[in-house]
Structure 1
């Protein structure tokens, strides 16, 4: 071997040693270093130095959020099958050394971690749903999520992880149960619609009855006032007639005339009125002298009563 070749070999070995002494760690990643299989330290994002051939990279752990979708089945207390579709969001708890050691060495690989995580979530949800009836499951979506978080937080912290969020995207039942639930909802909607329609009809009839009652009250009040005015009109008419007859009788008496003429005049005016406004009815009038005199006396008596009331 020539000296030149030996020199190039030494340079190459030194270059390999130098290059293997530096490790570039990406943002959002933590590198675990071991020495002869035993944990030594962690490398944070950026350019790091390690001892060549002695310190080895055991694993690269992502501290970013990770998600996984789940599909599984549970059975309710009343033996109804419930099908869940969920999305699990989790991440490394923090960047402390002890946490990173748990993440690196608790499980053989990510596959085993994922299997344990999924089975733990499914088991927690199944245990909760088994105590509830199928009619309660849909309205307890938030309670299920809170129950799972409460159960998993302690377990995941021991593994070095934290449950960020659990979303139950879909909750379904067997077709028979779904149809029966739809029928229940439809019947409840029909019942509510019937109740609303009945209440609307009751309100309409009540308002109509109130309006009719108010109309009757108004009509009765108007009729009462009209009757009162008619009575007052008749009374005033009679009063004026009595006054007129009294004046006429007095003037005729002063003129030495027979007051029977007044009665005769009223008689003829009445016949004239009957003739003009008659609708074919037959009216019998007593035109005898005795009847006329009796009517005159009654009129004079009314006049006398009116004069007495005026003096009082």
Structure 2
């Protein structure tokens, strides 16, 4: 009797456990930004939204979950440009399941990553070979737009929308990068040399202008000096004429005086290397005699010419 009672309690407990598991299995929760696919006996039954949900135990089952969050897939493609340079291009694709097409996203496409990768490879390898390496860097946005357009058209039928495509990296072959660096370095050196040459030219022009202005001022100073000397000589001649000394004698006297003033000036400067010839004691007398003779001869010739 006791054994029968024990078995009875065991069966009741077992049934209770089964019922409890069935009850617990009938309820489930769905997280935010997630969709759950429920199948009944292997056939699509319903799409369950976020929150608390119920399903028939054993008959209904959760076939899978679909996230509505924006996802990102990074694809690296190696291809060749129009000028035969191999480059690795990294394309980032941001995509999302359309809430209105969850059924298509879950049942029509087995692996969205592989599908998107295939389309990215196809578009990039069709667009990049049309461009030179420099154009690839400049038109990377055009490449991204072309990828997005192709993906959007293809993936929309599977329940996916393409949010954004970005060309995040363009990596040429190492030798090509070194060559580009050398070209950039040479270009910068060329520009630096042009600036240095322009600066040197400005210095030369400025120096030439300064020298020209200096010569101009020097010439003006000499002209003013000579003008003042001429005025002084004129005044000296007038003074000598006032004491009954004619112009010829006055001129000779002035020349002799300047001669001795020059000698005196040279003698006062002990660092001067200038030698004035002639420089004998009789030089002044000979110079005066020659000047008087010259003046007399010129006066005589002038009178003869007047007589004719």
TM over 0.5: yes
1:76 Cα deviation (Å)?
A: 1.9
Query: Are 1:50 and 2:55 counterparts?
Result: yes
State the partner residue of 1:304.
none
Question: Conserved in 2, the CA contact under 8 Å of 1:25 and 1:48?
Answer: yes
Question: Conserved in 2, the CA contact under 8 Å of 1:156 and 1:163?
Answer: no
1:59 Cα deviation (Å)?
A: 1.1
Moved more, 273-282 or 215-224: 273-282
Question: Conserved in 1, the CA contact under 8 Å of 2:75 and 2:117?
Answer: yes
Show CA shifts across 1:137-192 (max 9, x none).
233333322332233233333331424342432411263x4444344334333333
Residues 19 and 211 of structure 1, relative CA distance in 2, 3 Å threshold: same
- 1:183-194 alignment runs, 5 A limit: 183-194=182-193
Moved more, 53-62 or 152-161: 152-161
Equivalent residue for 1:92, pick from 88, 91, 96: 96
- 1:1-312 alignment runs, 5 A limit: 3-84=8-89, 86=90, 88-94=92-98, 96=99, 98-108=100-110, 112-159=111-158, 160-173=160-173, 175=175, 177-239=176-238, 241=239, 245-246=241-242, 280-281=279-280, 282-283=283-284, 284=286, 285-286=288-289
Which blocks of at least 5 consecutive residues in structure 2 are unaligned? 264-275, 297-308
1:101 Cα deviation (Å)?
A: 1.9
Question: Conserved in 1, the CA contact under 8 Å of 2:145 and 2:165?
Answer: no
Residues 217 and 149 of structure 1, relative CA distance in 2, 3 Å threshold: farther
Q: Tell me how large the CA RMSD over aligned residues is.
A: 3.8
Provide the secondary structure at the position in 1 that maps to 2:57. Answer: coil
Show CA shifts across 1:42-82 (max 9, x none).
23333322233333212112233433333331122233322
Give the whole-Å Cα distance in 2 for the aligned partners of 1:115 and 1:197: 57
Question: Conserved in 1, the CA contact under 8 Å of 2:141 and 2:166?
Answer: no
1:131 Cα deviation (Å)?
A: 0.7
Residues 269 and 122 of structure 1, relative CA distance in 2, 3 Å threshold: closer
Provide the secondary structure at the position in 1 that maps to 2:130. Answer: coil
Which blocks of at least 5 consecutive residues in structure 1 are unaligned? 250-258, 295-312
How many matched pairs? Answer: 269
Residues 133 and 270 of structure 1, relative CA distance in 2, 3 Å threshold: closer
State the partner residue of 1:300.
none
Residues 271 and 36 of structure 1, relative CA distance in 2, 3 Å threshold: closer
Normalising to structure 2: TM-score of the pair?
A: 0.70
Question: Conserved in 1, the CA contact under 8 Å of 2:92 and 2:167?
Answer: yes
